Amino acid sequence: MNSCNDSKKPLPENIAVQIASGSEASFRQLYHAFYSRLVQFSAAITRNTESAEEIVEDVFVKIWQQKEKFGEVRSLRVYLYTAVKNGSLNYVSTAARRNITAPFDEIDIQIAEETVLPDQIMITAEMFARLHTAVESLPPRCKMIFKLIREDGLKYKEVGEILNISVNTIDAQMAIAVKRLMLALQTEWKITPPAKKVERQKG
C-alpha cells in the first residue's frame, strides 16, 4: 500500500460488514480515510515516522487477512487507534527494552506543527507560534489527549477507550490544555482563561 491523504468522503455505516464480505473497494476506502492520521498518532508515540508507517500498514494487512471477523467491530475509530497504539507501544518496548505497560507520561509526544484548530484560522503567525509553543509545553499525556480530540476529532468516550482512562481524566486534561493555551494568547488577545471546564464532545 502507498501512503495517501485522508479521504474527506464519509464512510458507509456498514463498511465493516462490506470488508468482512471481501470488498476490496471498501477496504481501500477505510485505508484512505484513516492512514495519515494513524501514522501521525503512531509517530507521536514511536518518534519515528518510518516505523509508524510500517505499524499502520501492518494493522491494515492484519485487518484484511482476518477480514471475516471485521464485521464484528462496533467502533472503527476505537478499533483502529487501539490497534495502532498497541503496535506502537510494542515498538517502543522492543526498541527501548521497556515494559509495554509503561505509562503514557513517560512518552514524549510530538504534535505536528501544521495542527490548526478551527478558531486559529485567522490568527497571526506570531500568535500561532505562541500557541504551538504552548502545545509543545503541555505534559505528554495531556498533549496526546489534546491531539486526539482537537486534531483527530475523536470523542471523549473514544479517547477513553483507546487510552484506557476515564472521561473525567480526559475532561481534566483538556481543561489544563485549554487553560495553558489561553494563557499563552492572553497578552495579545487581552482575554482571561475561562474558569469553567472545556465543553466536551458528547458520545
What's the rounded Cα separation, in Å, for the pair 111 and 136?
A: 7
- pLDDT(104) > 60: no
- pLDDT(120) > 50: no
Query: What is the DSSP-derived secondary structure letter of residue 104?
Result: G
pLDDT tens-digit profile of 153-167?
899 999 999 999 999
pLDDT at 109: 53
Full domain range(s) for residue 135: 107-189
144: domain CATH number is 1.10.10.10
Q: What is the DSSP string of 104-128?
A: GGGS-----TT---GGGTT--HHHH
Specify whether 84 is located in the same domain as 111.
no
Burial of 52 (0-12, 13-18, 19+ CB in 10 A): buried
- pLDDT(26) > 80: yes
- pLDDT(61) > 90: yes
- Picking from 62, 96, 130, the residue at the C-terminal end of a domain is 96
43 in any annotated domain: yes
25 in any annotated domain: yes
Specify whether 128 is located in the same domain as 180.
yes
What's the rounded Cα separation, in Å, for the pair 18 and 67?
A: 9
77: domain CATH number is 1.10.1740.10
Cβ–Cβ < 8 Å for 5, 36: yes
pTM (two decimals): 0.64
Backbone angles phi, psi at 36, to 5 degrees: -60, -45
| Number of domains observed in the structure of the chain | 2
Cβ–Cβ < 8 Å for 168, 198: no
pLDDT tens-digit profile of 137-188?
888 888 889 888 888 889 999 999 999 999 999 989 998 888 887 777 665 5
What is the arithmetic mean of pLDDT over 94-114?
52
- pLDDT(191) > 60: no
- pLDDT(74) > 50: yes
What's the rounded Cα separation, in Å, for the pair 21 and 15?
A: 10
84 pLDDT band, cuts 50/70/90, is very high
102 in any annotated domain: no
pLDDT at 5: 47
